[in-house]
């Protein structure tokens, strides 16, 4: 470590150099000194930088999801982003948060153990005021415990946040976080021993004009079974693998709600424009190569998909599907039997 000189020592050094008693070369730094890294055995590092980086990436996704969901729930402009991801002891985390505060104990099923989500009192009372119909003002006493009604209100907010946590963790594990309870005194939330190492995700949160912090504390014991998955290689490979399936499912889901034209085609005939213009009421147009007993074709969009027969349902005209056209490109129709019969009006 470099030693900081006082002003008197600096003055004496300059005086010695200017008088010639000491050469400036005598004060060159020694480059051969070994660099020593301080290691504290009381708080060993259990998370590598790569693992912390992966946790940060996961919770950047969580921050975006929470920004959207809380904005909709509170009907106010909400902004959440990851400020830092650090490892420290659980005791250091408990000492760093205010008392009282909103501290939700979360069951991290299927992982063993609990995690803690701490929400700054300023943000807590701002959310409560918004949900009670106010403007998000926190001019009252924030240094107090939550009432029973306020705890119930915050529980709804926390449950929605947990859904975002689950979605953000899907690339690593199918996490099913469950809300357990709310504590206002951090000393009553002893989920692990004080010396146990935890990873702390600090999220800067802004609701309207009110700013504060949300802290998500996860003990190492909880993450130990999946610690090998917290790597950039696993993270990016799982993202690429699941993105195609995820988007494919979304596209299929969206396509199921698209309206399509379904047309029963009785027959076709070629007419010139002259003949069309000369048509009058009562004229008979004979369709080519269509007999009374022949099946009709049912087209979905521009594709011929089914065979059908005409009929009525009540007072409405309808067609009944009798078969499926396997070779859409073929002009020859083959009657195929299908299980059950569907009717389209």
Provide the domain count of the chain. Answer: 2
CATH number of the domain that residue 160 is part of: 3.40.1550.10
Q: For residue 104, is it within any domain?
A: yes
Q: For residue 212, is it within any domain?
A: yes
Give 137-193 as a DSSP string: ---S--SSPPPHHHHHHHHHHHHHHHHHHHHHTTTT---EEEEEEEESSGGG---S-
Binning pLDDT at 50, 70 and 90, where does residue 78 land? Answer: very high
Q: What is the pLDDT of residues 138-175, one digit of tens each?
A: 666 677 888 899 999 999 999 999 999 999 998 888 89
Q: What is the pLDDT of residues 215-236, one digit of tens each?
A: 999 999 999 888 888 876 665 5
Q: For residue 156, is it within any domain?
A: yes
Predicted TM-score of the model (pTM): 0.58
Instruction: Write out the two tokens for 188.
Output: 């009553």
Q: Give every CB contact of residue 195 below 8 A, 6+ residues apart in sequence.
A: 42, 43, 89, 90, 91
Distance, in Å, from the CA atom of 172 to the CA atom of 232, rounded to the nearest integer, reads 11
Q: Domain residues for 310? A: 260-268+293-326
Judge if 105 and 233 occupy the same domain. Answer: yes
Judge if 224 and 264 occupy the same domain. Answer: no
* pLDDT for the residue numbered 64: 93
* pLDDT for the residue numbered 242: 52
Average pLDDT, the chain: 81
Percentage of the chain beyond pLDDT 70 is: 79
Percentage of the chain beyond pLDDT 90 is: 31
CB 65, CB 161: distance < 8 Å: no
Q: What is the pLDDT of residues 243-302, one digit of tens each?
A: 555 567 777 777 888 888 888 887 788 888 998 898 899 888 887 766 777 888 888 888
């Amino acid at each position: 470590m470099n030693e900081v000189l006082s002003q008197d020592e600096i003055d004496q050094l300059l005086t010695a150099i200017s008088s010639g008693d000491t050469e400036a070369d005598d004060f060159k730094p020694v480059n051969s000194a070994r660099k020593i890294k301080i290691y504290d055995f009381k708080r060993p590092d259990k998370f590598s930088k790569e693992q912390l980086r992966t946790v940060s990436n996961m919770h950047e996704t969580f921050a975006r999801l929470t920004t959207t969901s809380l904005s909709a729930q509170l009907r106010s402009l909400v902004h959440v982003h990851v400020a830092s991801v650090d490892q420290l002891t659980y005791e250091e985390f408990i000492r760093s948060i205010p008392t009282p505060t909103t501290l939700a104990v979360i069951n991290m099923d299927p992982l063993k153990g609990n995690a803690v989500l701490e929400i700054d009192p300023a943000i807590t009372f701002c959310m409560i005021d918004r949900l009670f119909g106010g403007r998000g003002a926190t001019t009252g006493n924030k240094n107090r415990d939550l009432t029973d009604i306020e705890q119930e209100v915050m529980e709804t907010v926390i449950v929605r946040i947990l859904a975002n946590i689950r979605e953000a963790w899907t690339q690593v594990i199918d996490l099913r976080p469950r809300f357990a309870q709310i504590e206002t005194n951090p000393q009553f939330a002893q989920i692990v021993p004080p010396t146990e190492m935890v990873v702390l995700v600090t999220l800067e949160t802004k609701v309207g004009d009110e700013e504060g912090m949300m802290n998500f504390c996860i003990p190492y014991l909880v993450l130990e079974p999946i610690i090998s998955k917290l790597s950039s290689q696993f993270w990016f490979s799982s993202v690429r693998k699941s993105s195609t399936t995820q988007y494919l499912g979304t596209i299929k889901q969206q396509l199921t709600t698209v309206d399509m034209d379904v047309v029963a085609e009785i027959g076709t005939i070629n007419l010139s424009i002259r003949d069309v213009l000369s048509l009058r009421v009562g004229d008979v147009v004979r369709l080519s190569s269509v007999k009374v007993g022949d099946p009709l074709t049912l087209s979905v969009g521009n594709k011929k998909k089914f065979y059908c027969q005409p009929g009525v349902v009540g007072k409405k005209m309808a067609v009944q599907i009798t078969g499926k056209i396997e070779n859409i490109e073929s002009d020859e129709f083959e009657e195929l039997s299908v299980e059950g019969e569907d009717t389209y009006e």
